[in-house]
Amino acid sequence: MKIYKESIEFKSDTQIEFLDITDKVESIVKSSGIKDGQVLVYAPHTTMGIAVNHNEPMLIQDFMRILYKIIPVDDQYAHDLFELRRKQAADGRSNGHSHCKSLLVGTSETIPLDKGKLAIRASQSIFAIEFDGARKRDVIVQVMGE
């Protein structure tokens, strides 16, 4: 079995942002030369998520609204108090909500690879989801197979 790994680097611009990285993942798959196997897309950050879903602006708006409703920014999070006590919130942001959103969404997706193509449907996209922006980020893409 062959394993190929590459990172995607980007900068998020807003606090919560859905970044469609499908084309970049497809490009990495092509560079790998692997035809059959699987692709792991992983966010090595505790305030990001990875998801596969439909890239439709109104739906993304719905996702964001639901995330804000389930895990509001202005709620009280013990993590925020912990960070203030440790004096590590250098940028002054409270981000307990960001960690909770990441836990809810998850930090990775595994996608089957068939004949050198991602086994996703035409309406599906791979999203890197920022919950604590704006900042520089990266996502690891690992292609495994033959």
pTM of the model: 0.90
For 67-107, what is each residue's pLDDT tens digit? 999 999 888 888 876 655 555 555 566 888 999 999 999 99
| pLDDT tens digits, 28-48 | 999 999 999 999 999 999 999
Closest by Cα among 141, 140, 138 to 12? 138
> Cα–chain-centroid distance for residue 67?
14
State the CB neighbour count (10 A cutoff) for residue 69. Answer: 8
Identify the domain containing residue 11 by its residue range.
Answer: 2-145
Which position has the token pair 């897309």?
41
Q: Does a cis peptide bond (omega within 30 degrees of 0) precede residue 134?
A: yes
Question: Based on the structure, what is the number of domains in the chain?
Answer: 1
Q: At 44, which CATH number?
A: 2.60.120.460
Cα–Cα dist 24/29, whole Å: 9
